[in-house]
Amino acid sequence: MKKVNLLLLFTLILMPFAFQNLYAKQYVFIGYDSFCGLPIFTGQNPQIATAEKDNYGRPIIHIDPTALANLTSSRIFTLAHECAHHKLGHTSRLGEMERYHGGTRKQELEADCWAAKQLSRYGQFTDLQFQTLKNLADGHFIANGYPSGVERAQNIYSCATGTIVRHDASPRCSKKLVPKTIVVTSYQVIPTQVPCSHVRMGPYGPFAIHQFDLIPRKVPVQTPTTKMVEVTHCE
């Protein structure tokens, strides 16, 4: 009993300090939730930032300020991204099911897009640029069903600027038949005159029977023809 009281006393004394520390950490995110309206909780998070539900099932954003301290990612973008997961229903039962059944890539791109639009609307272009460059640096590496850094960067860019960027690696191609004039070479065998000196003996000596022989020769004949050919047209 005494032990419990002591613990309680300690807790009461230390509580304000604990809160102070918590508020100090949360201070770095003040204003960042202006476009989200959801509470931000700071604390150790191996995933850096996550969209979670509190014990009462209310949506919260759980962020690890120390993990973001090295500024490899934009803080505001990270927050907006997590906020998007809530806003877009990814944390609902249906959303969780979608993610479980291979929807990670889709949801991540959707959350990035929402965040990019918000940051663009709020004029946070430095952070948008920062995040895009960070993603580009991650390259084409794909892990755990997440989109690659390059894909994320392209998606953020297109969502922030309203430009359409194709995400699939290969362009959309279609095949069609078009008329094409081609020259077909065929061969004809025609008798051709070649000089000769066929002689015959006559009463007055040898005389030429004829001066040309007719020899069959293969002659190329070129005929222009219109043919339908298959061409591949890529957008």
- The CA dihedral of 212, 216, 222, 225, to the nearest 10 degrees, is 140
Nearer to Zn ion, 84 or 160 (CB): 84
Nearer to Zn ion, 64 or 108 (CB): 108
Beta-sheet strand order (sheet of 40-42): 40-42, 59-63, 49-53
Min CB(85)–Zn ion separation in Å: 6
Integer Cα distance of 42 and 63 in angstroms: 5
Q: How far is Cα 87 from Cα 110, in angstroms, rounded to an integer?
A: 11
| Residue list 78-117, contact with Zn ion (CB under 5 A) | 108, 111
* Residue 166 to residue 10: CA distance in whole angstroms: 59
Q: CB 81 → Zn ion: shortest distance, Å?
A: 6
d(CA 53, CA 62): 9
The whole-angstrom separation of Cα 84 and Cα 97 is 17
Reduced to 3 states (helix: H, G, I; strand: E, B; else coil), residue 122 is coil
Q: Which is nearer to Zn ion, 167 or 181 (CB)?
A: 167
CB of 60 to Zn ion, least distance (A): 15
Q: State which residue, 26 or 91, has the beta carbon closest to Zn ion.
A: 91
How many residues sit in the footprint of Zn ion (CB under 5 A)? 2
Q: In this structure, what are the phi and psi dihedrals at residue 56, rounded to the nearest 5 degrees?
A: -100, 5
CB of residue 134 to Zn ion, shortest distance in Å: 15
Token pair 């066929």 is found at 198
Give the residue with the Cβ less far from Zn ion, 33 or 196: 33
Per-residue mark of binding to Zn ion, 22-61 (x: CB under 5 A): ----------------------------------------
Shortest Å distance, C-beta 112 to Zn ion: 8
Contacting residues toward Zn ion, per CB under 5 A: 108, 111
